[in-house]
Amino acid sequence: MPTLDAVRPITLDEIREARTRIAGTILRTPLVKLDLGAGFPDIRLKLENLQPTNAYKLRGAANAVALLPATERAKGVWTISAGNAGQGVAYAARQAGVKCTVVVIGSAPQAKIDRMKALGATLVPVTYERAWQALEERSYPGVEGVFVHPFDDHDFIAGHGTMGFEILEDCPDAAAVICGIGGGGLIVGVGSAVKALKPGIKVYGAEPDTAAPVALSLEKGSAQKFPAWQASFVDGAGGQSVFPRMWERMKPIVDASIVVSLDETKRAMRIMAEKARVVVEGAGALPLAAALTGKAGKSGPIVCVVSGGNIDIAKYVELIGSVAG
């Protein structure tokens, strides 16, 4: 495993510079009010499913690839992904005119696999367990080029932080922000920005009860492996464990991680479809499911980051049809 730079905070200046750097690549996504009526908190949806790759990962990927020296980019880039990071890196690589390889979890939705192929990425399918191992080792046999880590990468995280500026510009009175957690890059990036700009704001994670290592880590006070991990349709969040380096990044930023059931997640997907006409994947629905528990506050405004909308349509219809409206 290569020698890594020590973990350090993401600064506002780094996020501002990233914002300028990626402005021509990403979309400044809207923040819309989800009106659920009396008795519900004031919820706003940050619609990152509207990015060109239909997921927030493009922010970090565009920043990380742009910051690679030309000599490094010329070698090509590669990453490990269940689909959204792979799309982001492939999109950024195509813009930079370099080749991209994605070590992809074989159970990834076909919609994500098709999109990565369409963006010109070479795909190397592996099991979830092998992908998680490769993330820890930062290598995979036979894959060449510069590795872009999909969450434990300072520049990747700074790119995600640009979302925090947009959130507080559009909702300066936000009381809380909720982000789904997989590896942790999203919540660290967004949290770094909003906590620096508004120290009193609460930053919550959201995890499925089948894969909630951050909630367990917060309970135990150290980075934990989730013993009862199960694969589910929430493929873009819920890791097997918390990487120690990501734990160091999350500790000063994350106030709590709210654990929700798969049925609560499906209901959140359905609510967004019915009330806001938003198509969202499982990971993107976690924050709304968390907000509806009341554990992030009963008033608000509560900003829910809708991280992505890459899901097979037939699967989506099956999921939202399996729960009551």
| Paired tokens of 127 | 């099991």
62 in a structural domain: yes
2 in a structural domain: no
Position 253 confidence tier, pLDDT thresholds 50, 70, 90: very high
Number of domains in the chain: 2
Does residue 1 register a pLDDT over 80? no
The angle at the Cα of 53, spanning 60 to 9, to the nearest 5 degrees, equals: 15
- Position 119 scores a pLDDT of 95
- Pick the last residue of a domain from 147, 169, 197: 147
83 and 116 Cβ atoms separated by less than 8 Å? yes
4 in a structural domain: no
Does residue 83 register a pLDDT over 90? no
- Name which residue leads in pLDDT, 297 or 108: 297
Q: What distance in Å separates the CA atoms of residue 253 and residue 170, rounded to the nearest whole number?
A: 21
Q: What distance in Å separates the CA atoms of residue 156 and residue 117, rounded to the nearest whole number?
A: 22
List the CATH number of the domain containing 111: 3.40.50.1100
Does residue 27 register a pLDDT over 90? yes
Same domain for 160 and 295, yes or no, is: yes
Does residue 230 register a pLDDT over 80? yes
Same domain for 94 and 168, yes or no, is: no
Same domain for 102 and 136, yes or no, is: yes
Position 3 confidence tier, pLDDT thresholds 50, 70, 90: confident
Position 7 confidence tier, pLDDT thresholds 50, 70, 90: very high
Give residue-wise pLDDT tens across range 156-165.
Answer: 999 999 999 9
- Position 82 scores a pLDDT of 85
- Position 106 scores a pLDDT of 84
- Pick the last residue of a domain from 132, 147, 162: 147
Does residue 201 register a pLDDT over 90? yes
Does residue 263 register a pLDDT over 90? yes
5 in a structural domain: no
Give residue-wise pLDDT tens across range 204-225.
Answer: 999 999 999 999 999 999 999 9
- Name which residue leads in pLDDT, 161 or 4: 161
For 29-110, strand residue ranges (E) read 31-34, 43-47, 77-81, 100-105
- Position 128 scores a pLDDT of 87
Exposure string (b/e) for 126-135, b if CB count within 10 Å is 16 or more? Answer: bebeebbebb
Same domain for 173 and 187, yes or no, is: yes
| Paired tokens of 79 | 């990453």
7 and 192 Cβ atoms separated by less than 8 Å? no
Q: What distance in Å separates the CA atoms of residue 308 and residue 324, rounded to the nearest whole number?
A: 23
- Position 153 scores a pLDDT of 95
Range of the domain at 309: 12-55+154-321
Residue 17 CB coordination number (10 Å): 15
What is the β-pairing status of strands 43-47 and 31-34? antiparallel
pTM for the model: 0.95
Does residue 325 register a pLDDT over 80? no
Place of tokens 């499925």: 208
Same domain for 41 and 185, yes or no, is: yes
87 and 53 Cβ atoms separated by less than 8 Å? yes
319 and 264 Cβ atoms separated by less than 8 Å? no
Same domain for 207 and 240, yes or no, is: yes
